[in-house]
Structure 1
Amino acid sequence: MGNCCSHSSSSNGDDHPNAKNHLGRTEFSAGLSKIRLIQNDNSTSGGGCSSQFGGSSSLFGPSSGNNHTSGNNTSTTFWGSDNSHTSGVRDGEEFSQGEILNAPNSRVFTFAELRAATKNFRADSVIGEGGFGRVYKGFIRGEGLTIAIKKWNPGSLQGVAEWQSEVNFLGRLSHPNLVKLLGFGRENSELFLVYEFMHRGTLDNHLFGRGANVRPLSWDTRLKVMIDAARGLNFLHSMEMKIVHRDFKPSNILLDETFTAKLSDFGLAKCFSSLDQTHVTTRVVGTGGYAAPEYVATGRLKVKSDVYAFGIVVMEVLTGKRMQDIRRLLKQKSLSDWVKSNIVNRGKIGMSMDAKLEGLYPTNLALEVAQLGLKCIQTEVNVRPSMKEVVERLEQIEADNQNPAGNSYKRRRVNNAISKMVVN
């Protein structure tokens, strides 16, 4: 549903007019990789979330006359008769291994509070925009609290269903690598979601953005971000009722002051009872280029569909190129074949790695990360590793990265210089 903290260098909220014509293909064209995919949903299996998360309407009570209807005919009262689930702003307590709260711990914000926090939603308060609407930076003076506010755009293809999904998931999930949902609000036709403010913005902006505020990420920071993001996905996948994010991409990975990465945007999330369960739908959602080929071609969503998206992000982190730019280089090759030839290749990896790294990375470990990413993007679902295996492998790579014996920046610079000579 967009970014919680920072200017985004791409827009992900619009449907491609011919998106439906791309069903049945195992790969997107380059031009589709920034397009949000949303089609009519006629699911043949339930999401399975009701037993653990109470369903999409659990927070809002029984239906009444004061309803707002989304495009998929979901009609729900926002406050209902039960406000026992709501409380004050979530405190700083986090569970290092993650925790599911007994009830959503979210505060109900009034329109007046949020208007005051953003100085009437002034244009200079806008820090991003996504499929749900604009994102504003706000400050609640009496509490000394800096927040990020998503304000619904009535013209958006997203609406009440995504709004409720975000509250029901993030309102009850606590993990160091998931962004905190502090609260929500609704007044008349206005819908709001309020998050902790993430000072470093999105991974997307650091990889692909420009300007004085964009800071190139070092190898160590990129490795840390990949591990953090993997831990967040692993937490979602390791619960009794597994959660598939369905829109994992750099603009939904937020960075705090210490560059700790946190996953955001759970408006499209789906629940599964097991790793092997398949959810079949005619509503293919997410962002082109990150959606797994089996999901795009058949509408069959699995937990490991997120693993594919993670592999795509790994390639973007290593190369500093957006996926649509990488796809332009494929020519007649498949993505996997291109990765094998250009990144998982000691002789060519220097030409493929992000130039902003200036050669300051251990080639052997970059190759290992690339090999892991390659496993994640395999067409055969069962061949892909689980996120638990991904985390374990990345943590081992990080341990090797911290070994001074393998950290010769001078040697890396020489290798990079040689690679540039080959290119020229």
Structure 2
Amino acid sequence: MKPLRVALLGCGVVGTEVVRLLREQADDLAARVGVPLELAGVAVRRPDRVRAGVDRALLTTDARALVTRDDVDIVIEVIGGIEPARTLMLEAMKSGKSVISANKALLAEDGATLFAAAREYGTDLYYEASVAGAIPLLRPLRESLVGDHVQRVLGIVNGTTNYILDQMDAHGAGFNEALEGAQALGYAEADPTADVEGFDAAAKAAILAQLAFHTPVTAADVHREGITEVSPADVAGAKEMDCVVKLLAICERVPEAGGRNGRGVSVRVYPAMIPRTHPLASVREAYNAVFVEAESAGSLMFYGAGAGGAPTASAVLGDLVAVARNLARGTPGPVEVTYARLPVLPMGETITRYYVQLDVADRSGVLATVAEEFARNGVSIQAVRQEGLSEDAQLVVVTHRAPDAALSATVQGLQRLDIVREVASVMRVEGEE
């Protein structure tokens, strides 16, 4: 049968693995799809660079010409970034090509434009590799759970930060020491900002929320906090509560009072304490794990390698087989719909819990004064513990669930009290619902 021809945009770590898998698994892929898959060309910026296993005759610097060629059926984009990736993907779909992408930044910023183009031109747009590497997560949300009512997605979606926090918890390392270890192992870039400041996780959270709740969500809508301010004291405080600190991506449907339909969605990324009994607490090193909670299916957990050339290429090849099967049948796959159009709620309306550690003056009435500040903002205290005496006196307070705005106002009020020398640590507590 006539082969389906594939154009590859980008040939870095992931692209090189895609080429290898296409070559080594050619017979198996042909059997699974029903037609052979052939690599038609590879667009790169530096064609003189040595790329092991890549036929130099396939290399070109003219990406636009490659994606619009008549003999190309499918385009795989692993360039990353916003431009020229967006323009090339749109050109490909306009030319009738189906597109596979691993580009989380672009999908989180302007996924709506890409989805609209796929609908307009009747092509596929698949992007499993954009979130959590090899873990099959997006397709279950997109297809397996499409008949269910997803209520919450909670997970660890950045391996670099999970490795750093795991080292701080397991070995007592400081943030900088753990970051250097992550860089030495290749888990973190020389400039780790996208990971440690939460930008990477926020982009993935936006994609997950859009799929789960059928509503437009961009990275700019996601409340984002990184892990650079997590201290050994925070990690030690978590241990005292039998918790561990993780950078969590949380996407929730917020229901109307007494109703089933959502009044909005909450999408946020921040470091939080979770109980060691929670399955996410046992996710070590640079691994990812995501919980999906649905009305009928209940709780589902997806776990595995969330990054790296081979795992990401595995997800790309999975999409390639799906798209190729669709083309062989002459029927495109599902296209994202955002019919719900629920508003993304501000962080202040999010219901959460706080762990607050205070350095206080050791004198009578301190606890009552602190409790009064919590009560003034309508925040209920779940537990309180005092440690040390005199200049070393510390007060640890764990709240019940309350709006984040009220909790934040409480912390600001505590900072103004003359009996509080310092608000030493503030961290949210999740995973106990």
Pair member with larger Rg? 2
Higher strand share: 2
TM-score (norm 2): 0.26
Normalised by the size of structure 1, how large is the TM-score?
Answer: 0.26
Higher relative contact order (CA 8 A, sep 6+): 1
